[in-house]
Amino acid sequence: MKNLNRLSQTTYHLMKSNFRWIGFSLAFVSVLILSSTNINYQWIGWVLASISTMIWVYASHQDKDLPRKCMELMYLTLSLYAAYNWFNYG
């Protein structure tokens, strides 16, 4: 039973860290797309930024980090608004 508990804790920590690396990777790719000069693909950058921000909102909620969660929610709202603008006016 003790080994099963240790295994579940290890799996939890691996998923927790991998989940954050996925969020980081998506944020990095979104910045690359958003900083490019090709405006036809910038909506993809905003969508990826929204997805990565959702991951960081979840991570900050799990960490009980309210200031970071509020910052990420603000960024999520603005990135969804930007993606919406690209779809409607782009």
Host domain of residue 45: 2-89
Q: What does the pLDDT read at residue 28?
A: 93
Report if pTM > 0.85: no
Give mean pLDDT, residues 3-24: 67
What does the DSSP assignment read for 38-71?
A: -GGGHHHHHHHHHHHHHHHHHHHHHTT-HHHHHH
Per-residue confidence at 5, pLDDT binned at 50, 70, 90? low
Distance of alpha carbon 82 from alpha carbon 59, whole angstroms: 23
3-state secondary structure of 1: coil
Does 14 have pLDDT greater than 70? no
**Looking at the 3D structure of the chain, how many domains does it have?**
1
Q: Are 76 and 53 in contact (CB under 8 A)?
A: yes
Q: What does the pLDDT read at residue 80?
A: 85
Per-residue confidence at 73, pLDDT binned at 50, 70, 90? very high
